[in-house]
Amino acid sequence: MDQYKERRQTVLSRMPDNAMVVVTGAVRQHQSADQYYPFQQTGDFYYLTGWTEPDGVLILIKQSGMRSILFHTGENAHDQRWHGRNISHGDAIQIYGFNQAEPREKFDKWLAQHRSKFEHVHFYMTQVNPRYQSTNSQSSNIEIKTWLAEMRLIKSEQELAHIRRACSITTQAHRLTIEAAAQSQFENEREVAATFQYHSMMLGADRLAYDTIAASGDNACILHYTDNNEDIKAGSCILLDAGASCGSYAADVTRTWPISGQFSREQAIIYDIVFEAHQSCFAMLKSGVKMSDVQKLSQKMLVDGLITHGIVEKECDSDTVFKAFYGHGVGHSLGLDVHDPSPPRGAFELRENVVVTLEPGLYITSHELLKDKRFLGIGVRLEDNCLVKTNGALNLTQAVPIKRSEIELLMRK
C-alpha cells in the first residue's frame, strides 16, 4: 500500500501551505428498489488511496506538516449485512496508511468545523455528486486533477504488472473467441460477447474493463456499438472490441475477423489498409514522439489507401474523408481507466513507460464521397496496447493474430 501513500505525499508536496484538499470517491448508484448499478471506483480516487469501497472521502492537509484523513463506511452492521465486509477504521490506518480514519457520517460536521482554518480549500469530486455541490470551492493554485493526470501517465512497475496480466488474459480470450467462432457457428452477436466474457473470467479477470463491442456487419461502423444482439449475416465480419480488467487496470483490444473464416475481396482490401496503417504507426512509437504525429500518419495512410483502391473519389478533401470514414483518435492512454487521463492530443508527447492503445479503423458508411458501393457497410478496427520505451514500443497484445493470413489460419485450425 506504500505506493498510494507515496502518491498522496507527491500531491501534498505540490500543495501550498495552509491548504486542504477534499477528494470524493465514487458512490454506489441506486438503480431501483434494492438494486444498485455495478460499483466502480474512480481512477483518480483509487490512484490516491487503493480504496475500492463506495462513498469514501479523502482529505489531504498541509499545515505544519502533511497528513491524510479518510472518511469511509467502516464496520457498519447494516451495510455489512447487505453489501459485504467493509474495511475497518483500524485497517484504514494500519494497512492503507492514512493518519486518521473516520466514519463517513461525521464528514459534513468535520468539514464545517475545519474548513475556515485553511487559507486554501480545494474540492475535487472524482465523480459528479450533487451531495457535494454546495460545499464545492476552488483555489487557483491547486490543480490536483492536472497533477494526477501527469502522475498517472507514467506507469510504475507495479502498475505495468497489472496491465500485462490484463493484456495476457485479454489476448487469450480474443484467440479463444475467434477459435470458438470457427468451430461453433455463432448465430448472434451476443454469443461472441458472452464467449469473450466467459473466457476472460475463467482466465482470472476481475471483470471486463468496459462494455464489449461485438458488432457484426455494418454495426461495426457504429464506433461504440454495445447492443450486441443482432443475428450475424453470412459473409459478414465481426468487430470485437473487448478487454479484461485485472487489479483495477484495463486492457483494450480490437480485432476484426470474418464469421466464415475467409475475408471477402472487399473486406480484405479495407482490412489491409487498416493493417498497414497499424504497422506503420506502431513503428513510430517511442518516447519523444507526439501522439498528434501518429494521428497524422494514420489519417494519411487510411485516406491514401481509400483513394488508391478507388473506394473514394480521387479529387477529395482528405479531412472530409477522415471525418466520413475514420473519425476518431488513433489511440489513448490506458491504465486504471480504459481512456486514462492524458494531456490534450496536441500536447501529448510519448514518454518511457506510458501505455497507449493504437487503433486505426475504417468504417465505410454511406457518403457522397464513396465511389465504389461494394465496400458499403464494411467496418474494420485493429487495436493493440503498447508500452512506450526510449527506442520503440512493446506490443503487449501481439499474442492475438493481426495479419489477415494469420487470422484465416487460426480459423482453419
The H or E element spanning position 346 is none
Pick 97 or 361: Cβ nearer Mn ion:
361
The site for Mn ion, by CB under 5 A, has a size of: 2
With contacts defined by CB under 5 A, name the span among 44-52, 320-328, 350-358, 364-372 that binds Mn ion. 350-358
CB of residue 62 to Mn ion, shortest distance in Å:
37
Candidates 195, 357, 385, 397; binder of Mn ion (CB under 5 A) is: 357
Q: Which is nearer to Mn ion, 102 or 252 (CB)?
A: 252
Q: Which is nearer to Mn ion, 11 or 209 (CB)?
A: 209
Nine cell digits for residue 48: 490516491
> Looking at beta carbons only, is 71 or 282 nearer to Mn ion?
282
Residues 6+ apart with CB under 8 A from 76: 86, 103
Kindly tell me which of 124 and 225 has the beta carbon lying closer to Mn ion.
225
Please choose, out of 94-102, 195-203, 231-239, 354-362, the segment that lies near Mn ion by the rule CB under 5 A.
Answer: 354-362
- Give CA–CA dist 264/273, Å, rounded: 14
Q: How far is the CB of 209 from Mn ion (least distance, A)?
A: 10
In angstroms, what is the minimal distance from the CB of 357 to Mn ion? 4
Between CA 144 and CA 12 the distance in angstroms is 10
DSSP per residue, 16-28 = PSSEEEEEE---P
Q: What is the CA radius of gyration of the chain?
A: 24
No. of helices (H) and no. of strands (E), the chain? 12, 18
Q: Which is nearer to Mn ion, 87 or 334 (CB)?
A: 334
- The residue range among 87-95, 286-294, 355-363, 369-377 that interacts with Mn ion, by the rule CB under 5 A, is 355-363
For residue 255, the one-letter residue type is R
Give the span between the Cα atoms of 44 and 127, in whole angstroms.
9
Provide the grid cell at 167.
493484456
Closer to Mn ion by Cβ: residue 252 or 340: 252
Task: Indicate the helix (H) or strand (E) that contains 387.
Answer: strand 384-389
CB of 393 to Mn ion, least distance (A): 16
DSSP 383: B
Angle in degrees, 0-180, between the axes of helices 157-184 and 189-202, rounded to the nearest 10: 140
The binding track of 69-108 with respect to Mn ion, each residue x by CB under 5 A or -, is: ----------------------------------------
CB atoms within 10 A of CB 1: 12
DSSP 379: E
Q: Return the bridge partners of 101, or none.
A: 70
Q: How far is the CB of 332 from Mn ion (least distance, A)?
A: 6
C-alpha cell at 104: 463517513
As measured in angstroms, the least distance from the Cβ of 241 to Mn ion is 7
337 binds Mn ion (CB under 5 A): no
- Site string (215-254) toward Mn ion, x via CB under 5 A: -------------------------------------x--
Residue 185 C-beta: closest distance to Mn ion, Å: 29
Residue list 251-270, contact with Mn ion (CB under 5 A):
252
Q: In terms of CB distance, is 48 or 386 closer to Mn ion?
A: 386
Q: Which is nearer to Mn ion, 245 or 357 (CB)?
A: 357
**What pairing do the DSSP bridges indicate for beta strands 207-208 and 120-125?**
unpaired
Measured from the CB of residue 383, what is the shortest distance to Mn ion in angstroms? Answer: 6
Q: Which is nearer to Mn ion, 191 or 252 (CB)?
A: 252
Beta pairing, strands 66-72 & 30-32? unpaired
CA–CA distances in Å: residue 284 to residues 270, 315, 386, 388, 390: 22, 29, 11, 10, 12
List C-alpha distances in Å: 228 to 29, 73, 165, 326, 342: 24, 37, 26, 22, 30
Chain contacts with Mn ion (rule: CB under 5 A): 252, 357
